[in-house]
Structure 1
Amino acid sequence: MNRLNSRVAVITGGAQGIGAATALRLATEGAHVAILDLNGERAAATAEQISQTDAVVAAGGSASGLVCDVTDEDRVADAFQQVFETGGRLDILVNNAGITRDNLLFKMGRADWDSVLVTNLTSAFLCAQAAQKFMVPARYGRIVSLSSRSALGNRGQANYAAAKAGIQGLTATLALELGPFNITVNAVAPGYIATAMTAATAERVGRTAEEHQKATADRTPLGRVGAPEEVAAAIAFFASDDSSYVSGQTLYINGGAR
């Protein structure tokens, strides 16, 4: 199914976890994917692995890695210009870059608050602003941003929860502003997904990743935690024309948890 044949996509923080799974999924559907990451070597390695995958080769997709600090406005502008000049277009943006700096409110330092807000929320603003410069003249675009179940509140994550709630507000607003140019803007809000980030959260609370996953699975209706590929599938839907009349929405991907 080549829903994204010849589309050009940018994925921030795409070198690992949900970002890497999304890059693979979009490339498997025929897209040319630019993986932006602070770690250029890891981005290049992930891109090379994706480009050599049989399903990607068969679909005509590809991937490339590009080092970029998505919190730096000038570097973001340069990176998006480079992607556009290389691919001749820019159709899809996936705002995935994110970090955690968890702590209880009375222990959380200003630096940890600022770094999470800038990396998880401001970067999405900067990248959307850069992407729309190419999408508006083309009168076509798909923007998908990563929110989180934590947007509803999560102990020890005041900074992360605020940033992810902000993603939902940003998504709704950009959908209003960019809709007249045939650009859809949506978000996905994963629950517990087995990644390096959730493993780090487990370590913070004194558990192994396996123990933490089991505790979450026990209170999840589907009886398990999620996989990056399952989030990638939802992102691929929002990135495709199958979702052409869906905009301003946040889809929770959490196994039915409440």
Structure 2
Amino acid sequence: MPTALVAGGATGIGRAVARRLLSAGWHVHVSDIADDAAREGLADQPSDRYSISRADLSAVDGAAASVSAALALTGELTAVVVCAGLLVERELADFTVDEWDRTMALNLRAPFLVTQSAAPHLAASGAGRVVLTGSTAAFRGGGGSFAYAASKGGLVALVRSLAVALGPAGVSVNCVCPGWIDTPFNDPYWARVGQDRAQAERDLVARIPRGVLGQPDDVAGLMAFLASREAGYITGQSFVVDGGLLAS
């Protein structure tokens, strides 16, 4: 059975990916700073097929530590899925250098370092896959998400370069760019706009052709497929999952 590292797999999309891979027979290691939440999210899964470690992926050594912990599960690594992210919402005049740097460290540097650390092991597996989490923010403007949008735009470019670098080793690299997925990750946005939450959500949903906010499983299915052996000839791509919002 293949083995995956889900970096940032404690909640939201990351948890949904970890659970979907487990249901498909994978071994899964979850690394996250919220390790208690990770244990809660996988408590009903077969305990012999997953492991959890606490890791601060925004720290320089967090990526290598996560890869090492994943290798301890089975000695092999077939896929890495990076879902960890930070959203800071501020008006332009209030955005700080520290907030910019923390966002870049987690959203852009960490996926690079995880991939760099995992690359030899992914190549050795014969079916290595890297799946990173982008965002539709890479393709549209946001009035307070300056660092977030910039980091996700950078991630889309990073995916292309990683795909070129790792293609000869048989490793595919892609990213999935979710739109409005209904998780607490969006709370900083709602806090910044300061509107009535229910009305703001209704206004947003009215702009989405599918007519609903997305759920983590709406994204996890594609991410699990991109991690699979069947997706080997797909690489360097960024896939939007947004209910049609960018198309409208």
TM class, shorter-length: over 0.9
Output the CA distance in 2 between the equivalents of 1:136 and 1:73.
23
Q: Residue 185 of structure 1 aligns with which residue?
A: 173
Structure 2 counterpart of 1:186, which letter?
N
DSSP 3-state at the match of 1:242: helix
Map 1:90-169; keep pairs closer than 5 Å.
90-152=77-139, 153-169=141-157
- Using the size of structure 1 for normalisation, the TM-score is 0.89
DSSP 3-state at the match of 2:189: helix
Question: Which region of structure 1 is more displaced relative to structure 2, 9-18 or 78-87?
Answer: 78-87
Runs of 4+ in 1 over 6 A off after TM superposition: none
Q: CA deviation at 1:208?
A: 5.2
Q: Residue 24 of structure 1 aligns with which residue?
A: 19
Structure 2 gap ranges (5+) = none
Q: CA deviation at 1:17?
A: 0.6
Output the CA distance in 1 between the equivalents of 2:195 and 2:45.
32
Structure 2 counterpart of 1:179, which letter?
G
- Using the size of structure 2 for normalisation, the TM-score is 0.93
**1:110-136 CA distances to partner (integer Å, 9 max, x unpaired)?**
011111111111110111111102112
Q: Residue 226 of structure 2 aligns with which residue?
A: 238
CA contact (8 A) 1:198 1:209 kept: no
Output the CA distance in 2 between the equivalents of 1:241 and 1:151.
27
Output the CA distance in 1 between the equivalents of 2:202 and 2:170.
43
Q: Residue 8 of structure 1 aligns with which residue?
A: 3
Q: Residue 51 of structure 1 aligns with which residue?
A: 46
DSSP 3-state at the match of 2:94: coil
Output the CA distance in 1 between the equivalents of 2:76 and 2:111.
20
CA contact (8 A) 1:214 1:224 kept: no
DSSP 3-state at the match of 1:120: helix
RMSD: 1.6
Output the CA distance in 1 between the equivalents of 2:120 and 2:207.
44
Map 1:243-258; keep pairs closer than 5 Å.
243-258=231-246
Output the CA distance in 2 between the equivalents of 1:210 and 1:188.
27
Output the CA distance in 2 between the equivalents of 1:186 and 1:69.
23
In the alignment, which of 63, 66, 74 is matched to residue 50 of structure 2? 63
Q: CA deviation at 1:209?
A: 4.6
**In the superposition, relative to structure 1, how do residues 185 and 199 fare at CA in structure 2: closer, same or farther (>3 Å)?**
same
Q: Residue 174 of structure 1 aligns with which residue?
A: 162
Question: How many residue pairs are counted as aligned between the two chains?
Answer: 245
**1:155-191 CA distances to partner (integer Å, 9 max, x unpaired)?**
2111000000111011111000001111100000011
Q: Residue 224 of structure 1 aligns with which residue?
A: 212
Structure 2 counterpart of 1:241, which letter?
R
Structure 1 gap ranges (5+) = 1-5, 53-60
Q: Residue 56 of structure 1 aligns with which residue?
A: none
CA contact (8 A) 2:127 2:232 kept: no
